[in-house]
Amino acid sequence: MNPAEEYILNQPEPYRGILLYLQAVIEGAIPGVELKFKYKIPFYYINGKPYCYLNQSKDYVDLGFWNAAHLTVHLEQMNTEGRKMMKSLRYKSLEDIDTTVLKEVLEDAYSVKDRKFWK
């Protein structure tokens, strides 16, 4: 088991369930993603470039997007609190996850995966 998987499995509920669900959706929806452990959290890479990350913090799970400056869908549902460039979908329970929105944001992030971090 790699450190990213250990991170996910070592989280308390309900965060472990949220992380496992997000992992399944990401790996099922996005071709060629590779789960690594960077910056002490699970990070998905595509062709050696950062794509998104999973982070359990306080009372929620963040699904953060690397090229967030280029995202165009569901921006009203993205969290930017205390950040200049990063945007994330934030979940406190499995019931908070709208799978349609999640997949549309993942696809949008995939479409801008080759753009630079900054706009």
Question: What pairing do the DSSP bridges indicate for beta strands 41-46 and 33-38?
Answer: antiparallel
CB-based contacts of 46, cutoff 8 Å, min separation 6: 30, 32, 33, 34, 110, 113
Q: How far apart are CA 81 and CA 5, in angstroms?
A: 27
What does the pLDDT look like over 53-87, one tens digit per residue?
999 999 999 999 998 989 999 999 999 988 877 89
Tokens describing residue 82? 């205390």
Mean pLDDT, rounded, for 2-16: 97
Give the pLDDT score at 72: 94
pLDDT at 118 over 80: no
Q: Identity (one letter) of the amino acid at 71? A: L
